[in-house]
A and B are shown apart, each in its own frame.
Chain A
Amino acid sequence: MRSMRDIKQRINATQKTSQITKAMHMVSASKLKKAERSIVRFRPLTERLYKSVARVIENDKDISHPILEGRDIEKTVYILVSSDRGLAGPYNASVFKAFQYYIEKHHQSNDEFIVATLGYKAFSFVRRKNYPMLNTEVIQVRDDVQFLDFQSVTDQFIKGYLSGEYDRVIVFYNKFINTLNQEVRYETIMPLEKNPILEALKEEENTRPYRRMYHYEPSAGAVLSQLLPMVIINALYGMVLEAKASEHAARMTAMKSATDNAKEVIRELQLQYNRARQDAITIELTDIIGGANAVN
């Protein structure tokens, strides 16, 4: 049996922890709302870009670009999107697990791929595993993430793709489904061959009763070669936003259950404390009664 003071101390400590987790829960809840808003705001933008690409392609059937066509895969770039900080439940670990499972299945040696990381957790994971890395510096994923933050990575893999160094880019991230559900997904963002969104839009463009003839400034090819990298960067940005929302949701659920657990622990400790106090009182009483009896 622990002493009353020990139990009291533990109750206090647990209470303080639960206060912190509760605060974190609420912070994540409000950040999640913000993240959801930015996803909603961003969606039409990507759609518009895809539409422009579909239009250019459908207007000029002969047009081609390396990003639109797949080629034999020799070297793949993987992008891991994670968070900077922990305490988000299985959020980061599930991405890493899915990634490791995937490369064990698809690659024999580490020379066949290179990994780019967004977020400190992914960076330290890849460094620990000794995978070849695209970015030598940590790229933090801030809550108000901007294109500029990961421009160094996007510049590198797009340039690498166009020069033939890399043949494919796959992103691993947590897709935001709802507050309780986040799903690890991997999606190929480059090349755009058989991209479902683009195919659907092309179809739509094709079935139109009339077609608008566009002017291109300076030429369709030039416009396309500017447009395609932008589409890819935007697709990646969209995924980062999704991952950001997932992170807050994951942290929210993790902190909620931590708070609940703390409550449970406090309840049990309180029971123990009461029992110990009762014991002490009983002992005191028997002492007094014993003493009184001795006097009489």
Chain B
Amino acid sequence: MKLTVITPSGVLYDETLDYIVISSKNNGDFAILENHAPIISTIDVGYIKMVKDQKHVFTVVINGVLEQQDNFVTIVAQEAHVGLNKDSAMDHLNAVRQERLEENRRRTMDFLKAEKELKRNIKEAKASKR
């Protein structure tokens, strides 16, 4: 069966697999094997174990929808990350998110500071007056 993971920044993963195991905080665990009946499910925070030839990788997903029909599994996710190990992948995703928030905060601070300075400089230089 074919699995496609789509995020806003494009297709993250697109492979043929033997089976997948979905584990999420809201719905618990279940597996989808070949020729499963059409199914729709959601993942709030969780991971997908993707198995092929006894080897597996994990994709951690935040806010995703899973839809399966005719052996095509599509996962539409707000954020996802592929890793060899579910904990490290999750840690990585969390770290990225945390860093993003930190950076946003820092940018806002810098921005406000710069704005203030600009206003002061305009006042000092009397640039607004002719």
Contacts and interface: CB of A to CB of B under 8 A. Distances in A.
Say whether A and B bind each other: yes
Interface residues of B, number: 31
Task: Please report whether the interface of chain B is mostly helix, strand, loop or mixed according to DSSP.
Answer: strand
Contacts of B27: 217-218, 222
> Chain A at the B interface: mostly helix, strand, loop or mixed?
helix
Interface in B1-39: 6, 8-10, 26-28, 30, 37-39
Given A49-B76, A214-B39, A215-B40, A148 B100 contact: yes
A5 to B, nearest CB: 20
A229 to B, nearest CB: 9
Interface stretch (A40-48, A91-99, A257-265, A270-278): A40-48
Contacts of A213: 37-38
Given A140-B104, A222-B27, A214 B40 contact: yes
B80 to A, nearest CB: 12
Interface stretch (B83-91, B106-114, B122-130): B106-114
B39 A216 contact: yes
Contacts of B9: 38, 41
B117 interface: no
B121 interface: no
Contacts of A104: none
Interface in B21-65: 26-28, 30, 37-42, 44, 63, 65
Contacts of B39: 214-217
